[in-house]
Structures are given as C-alpha cells and as structure tokens.
Amino acid sequence: MGPGPSDVDPRVLAAMARPIIGHLDPEFISMMDQVKTMLKAVLQTENELTMPVSAPGSAGMETCFVNLVEAGDKVIVCQNGVFGGRMRENVERYGGTAIMVEDEWGQPVDPAKVEAAFAEHPDAKILAFVHAETSTGVRSDAKTLCQIAQKNNALTIVDAVTSMGGVELDVDGWGIDALYSGTQKCLSCPPGISPVTFSNKAVEVVKARKTPVASWFMDTNLVMGYWGGSGKRAYHHTAPVNALYALHESLVLLLNEGLENAWSRHDLHHQALKAGLEAMGLELLVDEEYRLPQLNSVVVPEGVDEAAVRSALLQNYSLEIGAGLGALAGKVWRIGLMGASCNRRNVMQCLDALENTIREQGIDVGQGAAQAAAKVYQN
Amino acid sequence: MGPGPSDVDPRVLAAMARPIIGHLDPEFISMMDQVKTMLKAVLQTENELTMPVSAPGSAGMETCFVNLVEAGDKVIVCQNGVFGGRMRENVERYGGTAIMVEDEWGQPVDPAKVEAAFAEHPDAKILAFVHAETSTGVRSDAKTLCQIAQKNNALTIVDAVTSMGGVELDVDGWGIDALYSGTQKCLSCPPGISPVTFSNKAVEVVKARKTPVASWFMDTNLVMGYWGGSGKRAYHHTAPVNALYALHESLVLLLNEGLENAWSRHDLHHQALKAGLEAMGLELLVDEEYRLPQLNSVVVPEGVDEAAVRSALLQNYSLEIGAGLGALAGKVWRIGLMGASCNRRNVMQCLDALENTIREQGIDVGQGAAQAAAKVYQN
C-alpha cells in the first residue's frame, strides 16, 4: 500500500510466467494488437500512436519530451510535486527552455497561473503537467489545463502515471496531445512498461522536426515501425514479451471490471480509509476537492517518529506505506489504494496496523478507526 | 531457437511470478546487491558501475553512447552486421562523428582496418564494436580490438548482447570500458533488461562532461544513486521488480553451472548441430574460426523457399528459427542455441524438423543428420 508498485493480481503474475514466444511470432503480433486496442479503450482515445514503451514510466516521460521538444522550444512546465521537476530536467536536456509554473506541494496546478504564463510567453509550444501527483496525492484539472493550452495553440504533455485506471482520464475528450503512464499503479501490473499515446497533431509535430530525435530507442518514428497498426512489423528492439503478457492480462481485468466501476471502487475504499484515519484524529494533506483516492497523503502527527512507524508496519504486518518525498519528506505518509491493492481487506488491515503502531509510540489514537471505515461500507 | 529471445528456464519463469515487493524495500535492496555481485562475476569485472538497465538491450546501447559521447566527439564504429549501423545512429544522434570501419556481413571486424582508422583519426575518443553479431553469427576478436583502442588512448564500447554467457567474455582482462548486454540470449531470461558495465575510466569521462547527458532516464550519474553500492538508495525510477527477480534467478543458474561449463555446453551443442547440418549438405555462413556457437547462420540452399520453411517449422513443430536481416535477408536462416535453449533435445528436434521440411520442398537432404549429430555426443 505504498505509492506503487501496487500488488499484482495473481492472474497477472501467472500470465507473466507463461512460456516465451518470439517477439515477431504471428501469435505475439496478434497479442500486441489486442494490447493496443485495450490501451486505447482505457485511455479513451482513437490515437493510432498508442503503445506500451518497453521501459518504466520515466522512459515514457522521456519518450514524450525527446520526440516533441527541439532546441529553443519553450515549454510551460507546471510543478506541484516531484514529477514536475523531472519534466523540467527533460525539457532542458533537449535544449528547450522550461517556463516554470510553481504551486505548493499538496496543491493542484492553478489554471490562472498557467493562463498568465501563456500571456507572458504566447510562443510556448507545449504545456506539460502532472495529472495525478504521486508525491502528494493531488489531482489537477486536466480538462481545464488542456483547454488553456488549446486556446494558446500549444500541445499538451500529461503525466498520467498514477491516474490511469484509478480516476477519470479522457484523452480524446480533453484533447490531450501526448500522455505517458505506468503499469505499476492502478493497472496492478509489475513496473517496467509505460503506456504512451500521441495525438495525430503531436505525430505531425514529430514528423516536422528540424533535427533528429536525440534517442534511437525512444524515437516514435522508429518504434511505430514495430507497433504500428497495419502491414509488416519491422524489428526495432526486442519487446519484453513476458512483461507484455502481464500488461495484456491486467488490461483484460480492468476492462472486464469496467472503467467507471474501477473508478468507483477506488473512491469507495478511499472514503473508508479516510473515515478510519479521521477517527484516529489523523489529517489528510490534500483538500477534499483535489484528493486522489488512490494516493492518500496523511500528515504525520506531532511526536511520532514517521520512519519508525513505516518500519514497524513493514516488519510486523508486511505492510508497506510510502514516505514523503522532497518538500514533504518526514511530514507525510503516502498510503496507496491502487488497482488490486484497493480493496476492503487492505483498508481494514491498514487502519488496524496503523492504529496499533502509532499507539505503541505513546500517542492516543482511540479505537474507532475500524468502526468508522465499516460504516462507509455499510452505506 | 531463433536469434533470441531464447527459451526461459522454468525456474526463471517461476521467479518472475513471485509476489511483488516495493522497489525500496530492504529485502529488494539486498537482492539488488546480489544481482550486481553476480553480474560482476559473469562479466569478469570489478567495475563498481555494473548494473541492469531497466529496458532492453537497445537502451543499454544508448546508455553507453548517451553518457560517453558529446557533440563533436569522433567515434570509430565497426560495422559488420545490423548492430554496428545502430551504433552509428546513436553516435550521430548525440552530435558525434562516426568514423565507419566496414567489413562484410559474415566477416569479423578486421583489426588492421581499425588500426588504419586510428592512424587517420588519432583524436578518436571511442572505438565501438559488436563482440557477437546476432545478425550474422560472427565473433570478433574483442581482446585485440581493445588493445588497439588502448594503444590509441581511446575508450571502448562493446556490444555483448549475444556473447554474455555463451562464449568467453572478460571485461577487466580485455580492458573493456563500457559494455551492454541483454537478458534474452544466453542468460535465458525474458527480454527487457540490459546489463551494463562502465570502467572507472569511463565513469571519469562521464563525470568530466562539458554538457549534460541528453537523457534523464539513462544518465548514469543519476541511475547510480539508486544502483550504487554504498549507503542510502535514492529513488530514481521504479525498478522493474519482477523482471529483476528473473534476472537474479538466471544469474544463479549460470553461476551454479559455471561460466566455463556454460561456454563448453554452447560449443558442444553447436558442434552437434553443425555435424547434422553438414550431413544434410547445408553450409554455415561464417568461417569456423569466427563462428559463434550460440548463433548459427545457415545458408539457404538454392531452390528452397526460406520463408516457407520457417513458417512450416513454426506451424508443424512449434519451432522458431530466425530469418536473415539486412544484407542477408532471404539468404540465411539463423538458428540460435542460447542458454536454456542450448541442449541436446533441441538440436536433435531441430535437425529432424529441418530435414523433413526441406525434403517436403523436393530437395534431397539425405537422412543422416541425426546420426551425424549423435556421433558428436558420443565422443
């Protein structure tokens, strides 16, 4: 129950352990087509360039930036947590200029600040932001931010690592141009693969580049020779066959459940967890309006050794919860409710373990957590 | 029995399906240390920067080039197959100049040509070559090529994707500065991870760069914060936990067998396969002296529809063999004997299936293949 990787469904683990076949085998090619079709469904897009990058989310991020940013480009980068900072590094490594829009950690991206940044930099080519900040548990208003970008003729690059499968995400409806995600959050798949999608407009921008993409491995022009929809597949790199078995199975599970049902499930268990935490007198960092159900940042109460609590949870309950990162290090715990990890048993065990562990530090947290959570489930 | 991915040992598949734990969990960190120690043993190196890149071999290649090449650098690139060409692309995408040393596909890199290239370009910073060319089945003399580079004060970047675990590979003994490999060949592990090692000299060159590395994901300065040996691990990207379980298990298997024993096993089964192919009147592309036991390029006999043969092998025998690439497309089959795939049962089944399938095309290949191979095993 950390910030990811989340628990992997046993069906996904079993799929991963299937015997390998060749990465150009007709059976495998047909499975690739299914993966693409299911990714499109989950991302709610018709984008032809929709595929899993053969590397973790950080490489998915890099795939978006290395293809779309050229030297001299201005990119408005919103930072309200760890991952906006990483976006800035990406922009600068490809010779772009990052116009930073800063918000406090724990706050969503402020659309007014983004409007102001465009007013000052009407030539900005791209707006980049994180939909669901894993470092804080904040959801930003992706739809509104995309509208601002469109009004200013800019492309959008959206980090959906933690949002995909856990909360609403509508690539075509919101007009997102480039998006990357990860398998190890709400898809309940092992880490190592990054789903990516590019709009046709983004594809045109890549094709019109003046300079070659500064990466052979991540050049979408080349990768699409292998993942492209029609005709012959050209060898690009050796696909991680077993990791793709796993992704395939996790997408089957998600689509069987239904996107809306999965989002509701994340919300339900979040409400129960929240009720239990509040019964203990604990506070959530993020305002209700912007809270991600799948990533709960809990303010560490005064007098509690937060690292000792995490360590005791791991040792005594085999339960992982996350530490704060960056500006929030030492100040919050991050409790994940992602994918297969997002269930009633986990919520109840977590509340119980946390209550006992904090009590052992001499802090009174009452005994009502379980009851408060149970009440949510009864409604 | 294609050019990789090779069959995965059932123990490795089972390891991959173990429940996931956090990528910063103390138990996982201790497994990472074991992976590093075993990689060093298999690569015969003491290099501190020895780690698995969280992406396929192509990303391992890119990790070497993106860190070591700066704009304006001259790199002597040897091309005697597909992968030398990919090295050139890497050099050029990072603003370097590739000085090409060309040899025919099916021939090893000619050390005399490399000497001549250094004589003409004494300021070349790096010599890059492929140790075991998967596209042809040729082994080049890595030791001699490294000596030439050292004499000319140049670093070496070596592609050991197909050599690691199948033939002798001695990173420290030969003085290799940067090397990348893959898991899906002689390590019998699923594809998706690329073992990489950098000498201290190479690490110093990266640290002394004038410009930032043009990749955040592959910047060894950052990655080593997570994979580095001592002290606290800093979060860089989410490691592909289950893929690393698999790599760990495959390294245990290889080191239990013993490096020399693994190399001998590859040689033995190659000799048996060769005897059987020759009994059928088939010819190997590569001269005996440079032949890789783990990748056998077989010249397609006149009058045979090579694609139909591969397709029939797959459909009738569930047996994959590889097609020729690039200059050798349509001219050779590539039969892999890699890692767990390199065993007597596979050799005998492959010979039998190939004999029957070619005969069905109306070509007389006799009936002596099995007997010829069996004779090798009897000696």
In this structure, the answer to whether residues A202 and A281 fall within a common structural domain is no
Q: Six-digit token pair at A120?
A: 């000052």
Residues A58-98: pLDDT tens digits? Answer: 999 999 999 999 999 999 999 999 999 999 999 999 999 99
In this structure, the answer to whether residues A250 and A313 fall within a common structural domain is no
Chain A residue with CA closest to B341: the answer is A20
Distance between A242 CA and the closest CA of chain B, angstroms: 6
Distance between A151 CA and the closest CA of chain B, angstroms: 31
Q: How far apart are CA B120 and CA A313, in angstroms?
A: 64
Q: What is the mean pLDDT of chain B?
A: 96
In this complex, do B93 and A214 lie within 8 Å of one another by their Cβ atoms?
A: yes
What pLDDT was estimated at residue A235?
A: 85
Split at pLDDT 50, 70, 90, the class of B229 is: low
Residue ending a domain, choose from B202, B226, B256: B256
In this structure, the answer to whether residues B276 and B223 fall within a common structural domain is no
Helix (H, G, I), strand (E, B) or coil at B213: coil
Mutate to test the interface with B, among A25, A63, A88, A238 (most CBs of B within 10 A): A238
Residues B97-109: pLDDT tens digits? Answer: 999 999 999 999 9
Give the residue among A188, A141, A184 at the shortest CA–CA distance from A161: A184
Chain B residue with CA closest to A234: the answer is B325
Name chain B contacts of A346, Cβ cutoff 8 Å: none
What pLDDT was estimated at residue B5?
A: 95
Residue ending a domain, choose from A256, A289, A307: A256
What pLDDT was estimated at residue B178?
A: 98
- Assigned domain for B312 exists: yes
- Assigned domain for A188 exists: yes
Output b/e per residue, A74-91; b: 16+ Cβ within 10 A. Answer: bbbbbbbbbbbebbbbbb
In this structure, the answer to whether residues B51 and B165 fall within a common structural domain is yes
CATH of the domain at B201: 3.40.640.10
What pLDDT was estimated at residue A234?
A: 81
In this complex, do B7 and A20 lie within 8 Å of one another by their Cβ atoms?
A: yes
Q: How far is CA A134 from the centre of its chain?
A: 7
Name chain A contacts of B314, Cβ cutoff 8 Å: 25-26
Residue B196: is its pLDDT beyond 90? yes
**What are the CA-CA distances from residue A240 to residues A1, B15, B63, B254, B313 (Å)?**
26, 16, 18, 21, 23
- Assigned domain for A321 exists: yes
- Assigned domain for A126 exists: yes
In this complex, do A56 and B238 lie within 8 Å of one another by their Cβ atoms?
A: yes
CATH of the domain at A369: 3.90.1150.10
Annotated binding residue A344: no
In this structure, the answer to whether residues A236 and A266 fall within a common structural domain is no
What pLDDT was estimated at residue B230?
A: 59
Give the residue among B259, B289, B279, B262 at the shortest CA–CA distance from B376: B279
Residue A119: is its pLDDT beyond 70? yes
Distance between A220 CA and the closest CA of chain B, angstroms: 14
In this complex, do A240 and B243 lie within 8 Å of one another by their Cβ atoms?
A: yes
In this structure, the answer to whether residues B67 and B177 fall within a common structural domain is yes
What range defines the domain where residue B54 resides? 10-256
Q: How many domains does chain B have?
A: 2
In this structure, the answer to whether residues B270 and B174 fall within a common structural domain is no
In this structure, the answer to whether residues B213 and B304 fall within a common structural domain is no
Q: Is B150 exposed, middle or buried (0-12, 13-18, 19+ CB in 10 A)?
A: middle
Helix (H, G, I), strand (E, B) or coil at B262: helix
**What are the CA-CA distances from residue B184 to residues A272, B9, B180, B335 (Å)?**
45, 11, 13, 15
- Assigned domain for B3 exists: no
Chain A residue with CA closest to B215: the answer is A93
In this structure, the answer to whether residues A251 and A307 fall within a common structural domain is no
Q: How far apart are CA B187 and CA B184, in angstroms?
A: 6
Residue B274: is its pLDDT beyond 90? yes
ipTM: 0.95
Q: What is the mean pLDDT of chain A?
A: 96
In this structure, the answer to whether residues A252 and A263 fall within a common structural domain is no
Residues A201-239: pLDDT tens digits? Answer: 999 999 999 999 999 999 998 998 888 865 677 889 999
* Range A17-27 average pLDDT: 93
- Assigned domain for B5 exists: no
Q: B332 has which bridge partners?
A: B299
pLDDT higher at A272 or B26:
A272
In this complex, do A190 and B94 lie within 8 Å of one another by their Cβ atoms?
A: no
Residues B320-376: pLDDT tens digits? Answer: 999 999 889 999 999 999 999 999 999 999 999 999 999 999 999 999 999 999 999
**What are the CA-CA distances from residue B281 to residues A30, A276, B18, B358 (Å)?**
36, 76, 47, 11
Share of chain B above pLDDT 70, in %: 99
Split at pLDDT 50, 70, 90, the class of B220 is: very high
What pLDDT was estimated at residue B24?
A: 87
In this structure, the answer to whether residues B249 and B272 fall within a common structural domain is no
Q: How far apart are CA A308 and CA A310, in angstroms?
A: 6
* Range B281-303 average pLDDT: 97
Residues B42-70: pLDDT tens digits? Answer: 999 999 999 999 999 999 999 999 999 99
Residue B251: is its pLDDT beyond 70? yes
Residue ending a domain, choose from A219, A240, A256: A256
Q: How far apart are CA A36 and CA A186, in angstroms?
A: 18
In this complex, do A55 and B59 lie within 8 Å of one another by their Cβ atoms?
A: yes
Q: What is the DSSP string of B340-364?
A: GG-SHHHHHHHHHHHHHHHHHTT--
* Range B205-226 average pLDDT: 93
Of A7, A192, A320, the CB nearest to B192: A192
Name chain B contacts of A61, Cβ cutoff 8 Å: 216-217
Name chain B contacts of A89, Cβ cutoff 8 Å: 216
- Assigned domain for A14 exists: yes
In this structure, the answer to whether residues A215 and A311 fall within a common structural domain is no
Give the residue among B59, B308, B302 at the shortest CA–CA distance from A193: B59
In this complex, do B17 and A16 lie within 8 Å of one another by their Cβ atoms?
A: yes
Split at pLDDT 50, 70, 90, the class of B234 is: confident
What pLDDT was estimated at residue A229?
A: 63
Q: Is A161 exposed, middle or buried (0-12, 13-18, 19+ CB in 10 A)?
A: buried
Split at pLDDT 50, 70, 90, the class of B379 is: confident
- Assigned domain for B222 exists: yes
